[in-house]
Amino acid sequence: MHQFLIRSAHRWGGAVAVAEEETSSTFEQIARRALSLAASFADRGLEKGDRVALLMPKSTEAIISLFGALLAGGIYVPVDLRWPADRIELALAECAPRFVVAMDLGDLARQIPSMARIGGIADSSITILDMKAGKSLPWVETLGRSETGFSIPEIAPGDPALILFTSGSSGRPKGVALSHKAVSAFVRWSSQEFKLGTEDRLASPSSLSFDLSTFDIFNMAWCGATCVIVPESIVWMPRFLAQFISLQRITAWYSVPSVLSALLAEKSFAQKSYPDLRLAVFAGEVLSGRDLARARTILPRADFYNLYGPTETNVVTWYRVPAGFDPDCPIPIGRACPYAELMFDPAGVEKEGRTETGDLLVAGDSLMLGYWNRPAETERAFVAIGEGNGKRFYRTGDRVARDPATGDFVFVGRKDRQVKRRGYRIELGEIENALRRHPQILDAAVISTRDGEMRTSIGAFACHDPHSGISAVEVRTHCARYLPAYMMPDQVVFLRVLPRNSRGKTDYAALESLLQDLS
């Protein structure tokens, strides 16, 4: 993946690679600084496979740092500073970095006292680089140095390139190790499918710790496009975000659907013009057909795509939404990307007529190597299917249905969000979809709880226009049109917005706490 940047620096050296607020950096500048940093890493003892933890917000310096780590043969580990301190400590302890790179370690230590010790794991084996202290800033130290003496180590496609931390069922974050081959497969395919090139300006709204960020950073390096960093402060401020997309002449947008929902709720979004935006891509959550229909009226020139794939697989399916798509129907996740193979878990396939529903398994080039230092959990996450040792498939934990007419897959719900009540199996995602069909409900989320007698209760959270006058009784009446009695919510709570985690997804844990407080 680091060779993408070197190649682009040779081909388009003077073109803008990264734009950030009022500044911009060319491919030549990014490559030179990354090589300089890589040489500094090597001088300080970095060996192939060592981890480099990035404790910094998404920025030009962060992008240089991750390429510097890759050029030196290292593995970059992005750490989101918005995580709780305990989670940061656990992530650092889990990956055992050789280097920790921070924008301002002193300021970080003041914000998170435990970080003064870098999570309690700092010792003589860890080098700390503080970007604010000039004496520790590698590309200041080596800015005038020739990189001719530095040799990029030999890296195999299957070698790990980055570790992304996801939630663990035990409460301890799990590090998903992705190889150069895994990310490259997605980047090469997406650049071709979306026809990305040097004229494109790719919005970059996602945290480095979120796999969606690999799209804009590495397509920038592969295609010669410009990566336009969206300030973290405005990603969830739709009025400013709409202005940003327009003024920055964004041509391609890729984010979770909830960002689109927030934009649509902002009146000024429809009042601006976006003549440059030709591509709107969404992944990470269910994309609402009604939201998409509304967005199409505002962005008539844009092609809309729905992508699917857990962090462990990156993107493995794609669906280009046709112009005449029925907004009342669920938007399919589509069919397999060329580098992926999909199948149902043979143990859990259900048939209704010609439609099959089952737990989705994924194989192919984009699969993770495994959970970092978690061999037992890695083994449980995969299953071998076929003759001999079999092909390695990842258990996604997602249930999908396959349309017999088109072959497209449709997301049904998380296997671990499936509950039983009154002897019936219930997908909470199905209740959410029913809620979203109400014309005055802008977004919805559903959780289940159990009382002391283990009876399942369903709580629904609905976001609506405060002037709509919608009531809980009206919501239940609406749900009764689409759901059987055993799926009806026991409680309806109205919110202005749903809580989101650092990746922009619905924070179900926060909703559970809220429901407990209301009980």
Q: Are 173 and 154 in contact (CB under 8 A)?
A: no
* Helix, strand or coil, per DSSP, at residue 171: coil
Read off the pLDDT band of 434 (50, 70, 90): confident
Residue 140 has pLDDT above 80, yes or no: no
Model pLDDT for residues 308-359, shown as the tens digit of each residue: 999 999 999 999 999 989 988 889 999 999 999 999 998 878 887 888 899 9
Say which CATH number the domain at 387 has.
Answer: 3.40.50.12780
Range of the domain at 330: 230-413
**Highest mean pLDDT, choosing among 62-71, 78-87, 485-494:** 62-71
Q: What are phi and psi of 316, to 5 degrees?
A: -125, -10
Q: How confident is the model at residue 270 (pLDDT cuts 50, 70, 90)?
A: very high
pLDDT band per the 50, 70, 90 thresholds, residue 107: low
**Is 251 in the same domain as 365?**
yes
Q: Are 81 and 129 in contact (CB under 8 A)?
A: no
Domain assignment present for 146: yes
CA atoms within 13 A on the CB side of 323: 4
Whether 466 maps to a domain, the answer reads yes
Cα–Cα distance, 428 to 393 (Å, whole number): 26
288-317: b or e for each residue (b if 16 or more CB lie within 10 Å)?
A: bbbbbebbbebbeebbbbbbbbbbbbbbbb
Buried b (16+ CB within 10 A) or exposed e, 192-220: eebebeeebbbbbbbbbbbbbbbbbbbbb
Contact 353, 339 (CB under 8 A): no
Determine which helix (DSSP H) or strand (DSSP E) holds 203, and give its type and residue range: strand 201-204
pLDDT for 459-469, tens place per residue? 999 998 777 78
Same domain, 394 and 444: no
C-alpha R_g of the chain: 23
Residue where a domain stops, chosen among 363, 380, 413: 413
What is the arithmetic mean of pLDDT over 355-370? Answer: 95
239 within a domain of the structure (yes/no)? yes
Asked if the structure places residue 79 within a domain, the reply is yes
334 domain-assigned = yes
Does 372 lie in the same domain as 272? yes
210 has a pLDDT exceeding 70 = yes
Q: What confidence category does residue 419 fall into, taking pLDDT thresholds of 50, 70 and 90?
A: confident
**Residue 262 pLDDT more than 50?**
yes
10 Å CB burial of residue 246 (0-12, 13-18, 19+) is middle
- What percentage of the chain has pLDDT greater than the value 90? 59
Domain end point (choices 383, 413, 443): 413
Q: 437 versus 361: which is more confidently predicted?
A: 361
User: What are 376-383's contacts with CB under 8 Å, separation 24+?
Assistant: 377/174, 381/312, 383/345
- Which residues, in sequence order, are bridge partners of residue 392? 384
Instruction: Indicate whether 372 pLDDT > 80.
Output: yes
Q: How many domains in the chain?
A: 3
Q: Both 377 and 474 in a single domain? A: no
Report if residue 187 sits inside a domain: no
Residues 182, 200: Cα–Cα separation, whole Å? 24
Are residues 495 and 367 located together in one domain of the fold? no
Q: What is the CATH number of the domain that holds 486?
A: 3.30.300.30
Is 80 exceeded by the pLDDT of residue 144? no
C-alpha 129/C-alpha 78 separation (Å) is 15
Please give the pLDDT value at position 468: 78
Instruction: Please check whether residue 99 is in contact with residue 52, taking contact to mean a CB–CB distance below 8 angstroms.
Output: yes
Q: Which of 348, 383, 413 is the last residue of a domain?
A: 413
User: Is 186 a domain residue?
Assistant: no
Which residue from 460, 470, 406, 463 is spatially nearest to 429, judged by alpha carbons?
Answer: 460
Lowest-confidence region among 170-174, 252-256, 350-354, 426-430: 170-174
Is 254 within a domain?
yes
Neighbours of 49 (CB within 10 A): 13
Q: Which residue in 138, 232, 222, 151 sits closest to 185, CA to CA?
A: 222
| pLDDT above 70 for 365 | yes
Say how far apart CA 452 and CA 244 lie, in whole Å: 50
Q: Is the pLDDT of residue 77 over 90?
A: yes
User: Looking at the predicted structure, is the pLDDT value of residue 122 above 50?
Assistant: no
Q: Does residue 171 share a domain with residue 75?
A: yes
Average pLDDT over residues 210-219: 96
> Kindly report the CA angle at 151 between 149 and 154, in degrees rounded to 5?
170
120-129, 296-305, 428-437: least confidently modelled range: 120-129
Strands 279-282 and 303-308, by their bridges, are parallel
318 with 405, same domain?
Answer: yes
Q: Cα separation of 460 and 351, whole Å? A: 29
Same domain, 304 and 170: no
Q: What angle do CA 265, 260, 82 make, to 5 degrees?
A: 100
pLDDT band at 11 (very low <50, low <70, confident <90, very high): very high
**Domain identity same for 460 and 389:** no
pLDDT given at position 145: 41
CA distance 333 to 319: 6
Question: Token pair for residue 382?
Answer: 């995969």
pLDDT at 518: 82
Do 345 and 369 belong together in one domain? yes
Q: Residue 454 contacts by C-beta under 8 Å, 6 or more apart in sequence?
A: none
The first and second tokens of residue 244, run together, are 């940003």
Helix (H, G, I), strand (E, B) or coil at 393: strand
Q: Catalogue the long-range contacts made by 65-68 (C-beta closer than 8 Å, 24 or more residues apart).
A: 65/37, 65/101, 66/162, 66/208, 66/217, 67/2, 67/5, 67/30, 67/31, 67/34, 67/37, 67/38, 67/221, 68/33, 68/34, 68/35, 68/36, 68/37, 68/38, 68/40, 68/41, 68/138
Same domain? For 404 and 329 the reply is: yes
Cβ atoms of 180 and 159 closer than 8 Å:
yes
- Asked if 486 contacts 421 with a C-beta cutoff of 8 angstroms, the reply is yes
Do 486 and 366 lie in one domain? The reply is: no
* 190 vs 150, higher pLDDT: 190
